[in-house]
Amino acid sequence: MKIYIETKRLILRKMEETDLQGIFELDSDPAVHRYLGKKPITSLEEAASTINYIRKQYEEDGIGRWAVIDKMTNEFIGWAGLKYEKEVREEMYYYDLGYRLKEKFWGSGIATETAYESINYGFDVLNLQTIYAGAHIENIASNKVLQKIGLTFLETFVYDSEPHHWYKIDKSAWEEKMRLQD
């Protein structure tokens, strides 16, 4: 098992077939899919497809979402991280920051923690110059996370017939943010 990041309370690692039940619990929850097109999955086969889709990204793009695991309990919390996005914005391919957590973990700071660590990884390890993110305009919590960790709002765009906010952060802005925190 490849671990990418370890914090005091979390492990961010490669998605594995053993995450099947965790992905099913995450993506079958209608509350989790409220701002994701309201299309929760209904079978373990769909969960397996999700895992295969993510694992294919590792092979093709060298990066994909990571499983987020509770260090103390080994529970699957959700996923987070970067992916090389080729579908959301017709005019560009880009590195996208994302996170999706089981509802019982909402409001615990995990999205912020994993987003922070993912950006750090993108700039420090992958040597990216820019990272983008999108969030449905009504998903207040997700928009707050993106702003809190330093992404700048650029515009509103329509994806899947729904309005989304579009954010970005450049490596130089991230490095300045890190200097100011020290």
Region 91-116 average pLDDT: 96
Domains and CATH numbers, the chain: 3-181 (3.40.630.30)
Residue 180 pLDDT grade (very low, low, confident, very high; cuts 50, 70, 90): confident
Amino acid symbol at 88: V
Distance of CA 178 to the CA centre of its chain: 21
- 151-173 per-position pLDDT tens digit: 999 999 998 889 999 999 999 99
Of the chain, the percentage scoring pLDDT greater than 90 comes to: 85
Within 13 Å and on the Cβ side, how many CA atoms surround 26?
26
